[in-house]
Structure 1
């Protein structure tokens, strides 16, 4: 009987994660680990080599010297009704939760002083090889809206380091799992000052914690941690040019702030990002052909009267994201 090679495949990749009690320390409590629905990832530690600068040794190259380690990468995840709340917690901090009997409202606000960190284990069971990207913090969260397709979020992370691959998982053998029910792109909307904004062809936004790496001198060559900087929200809205709703806001003197919200409703579940104070710069109105004229409005958020530049509200049947 032929032996089947045990090549690693993405379809079988095992991704589990846990929030850390101490940044960079992989949680030992197996009950704290949970499954992570994944589209793709580019995490992993890199340690480049520095070419030798020695002279007088002839024309042959000398041995290189290892440089510092870095572990920055993206994790692309589905924007779903349950699991996505964990990513919101990583980027915004602990939510305020209310409700009961399967209808819970989780409110995440930007600007938290302290943000959590996460350990993310990536495993290839066929090999087997399992390693943990530890001390992961949320730097940028990017979401694009369109009329159809799959709704995903790109989470750009900065990690302290990665553990040496082992043949067995260090997370839970059977981690906690939440059913994955995606929000469809087809049910998305954009609102301006609470009113549905028409003729929107596409939209996108990026929330950033502007993490600053703490690059101290350490014997393992890794960063000490990463600290949050100024919270920032920006994006763009692409519309068919049929009225002056956004044009007037972008050309007003002085600039007129507005509220923009981006959301999805699916049955009793919903997710909405509200940017309470938005400014739009004046934009061009290009004509590129005989068909409909498109106009792209870039925007940037600012601190709202409520004290937060961004408020994300997730309504689902999960009782808590902190226990």
Structure 2
């Protein structure tokens, strides 16, 4: 009997034209490192009395379909997740193409995602998938991956794939070595690590339905937050925190062949941090920053992806 192995699993994705209705084909295989995307339905213990010490049979509770994906940050496939998070980009150029994703869209696309385990076989199709949160960390070394947090309308399991013939992106990964952090257009020194999280703060529409699915997941007020860990070498960031003025933070990756990814938070506010001396080693300070709408650009964030893909 065959046993399921993660090494043989696959992830097929496609944007939906109608929420909750997977397209008939046009799926693309995307790279991923791990997945917790699944449906679950807990049991409710019986509260009834009068039948002795042994409980009566439990009943089924509501179905929840959600989970996280760990995906590489690369020059091509990552644009799919950026479109899910921010909406369709504004694309310019004739190759290379520059895709500009902007925060603030009220209408976000839904996705159909199929996870396949051919050994069993088990193919789970998740329809009406919305991206709730996208986060990653910049650091000196290690593999560069992002966490994608998803909310799905429901799950359908079959023994054969419904995704058809899959298209592929070329895997061109960014690495931590390719990363940089800038403040107001100038390199920000002494950064040990930086973490950022963009959240759509989706509101599940949990209406009463015979199939147990939700009616949708609507975006509310977005949030872009993070943390910067710096070696304490000057008072620039501390003075900004004290004054309460915003700055622009830019997190970038660039490959020698010209592919690049840049996230710009246009108006970032810093809290006044606690400066601690914990021993003989260097002193570090952590800033839990928050981004807000910039009155000049009219938005909170802009993400620019440069590659050879004509459109998403």
TM-score (norm 2): 0.98
- The answer to whether the aligner puts 1:241 opposite 2:213 as a matched pair is no
| 1:154 paired residue number | 147
| 1:167 paired residue number | 159
- The answer to whether the aligner puts 1:21 opposite 2:28 as a matched pair is no
Between the aligned partners of 1:68 and 1:127, the Cα distance in structure 2 is 27
Give the CA deviation at 1:262: 0.6
Does structure 2 conserve the Cα–Cα contact (< 8 Å) formed by 1:147 and 1:202? yes
Does structure 2 conserve the Cα–Cα contact (< 8 Å) formed by 1:67 and 1:221? no
Give the CA deviation at 1:53: 1.2
| 2:220 paired residue number | 229
Does structure 2 conserve the Cα–Cα contact (< 8 Å) formed by 1:149 and 1:186? no
- The answer to whether the aligner puts 1:287 opposite 2:283 as a matched pair is no
Give the CA deviation at 1:59: 1.4
| 2:100 paired residue number | 107
Indicate the RMSD between aligned Cα atoms, in angstroms.
Answer: 0.8
Cα deviation per residue 1:213-262 (whole Å; 9 max; x = unaligned)? 0011111122111000011100011111111121111111xx11110111
- The answer to whether the aligner puts 1:143 opposite 2:139 as a matched pair is no
Give the CA deviation at 1:135: 0.8
| 1:44 paired residue number | 38
Q: Which runs of 5+ in 2 are unaligned?
A: none
Between the aligned partners of 1:14 and 1:187, the Cα distance in structure 2 is 28
- The answer to whether the aligner puts 1:96 opposite 2:85 as a matched pair is no
| 2:115 paired residue number | 122
- The answer to whether the aligner puts 1:301 opposite 2:291 as a matched pair is yes
Q: Which runs of 5+ in 1 are unaligned?
A: none
Aligned ranges 1:235-274 → 2 under 5 Å: 235-252=226-243, 255-267=244-256, 268-274=258-264
Give the CA deviation at 1:308: 1.1
Give the CA deviation at 1:72: 1.8
What secondary structure does 2:93 align onto? strand
Between the aligned partners of 1:279 and 1:131, the Cα distance in structure 2 is 42
What secondary structure does 2:238 align onto? helix
Between the aligned partners of 1:221 and 1:67, the Cα distance in structure 2 is 9
- Runs of 4+ off more than 3 Å: none
- The answer to whether the aligner puts 1:176 opposite 2:170 as a matched pair is no
What secondary structure does 1:17 align onto? strand
Cα deviation per residue 1:68-87 (whole Å; 9 max; x = unaligned)? 11112101100000000000
What secondary structure does 2:40 align onto? coil
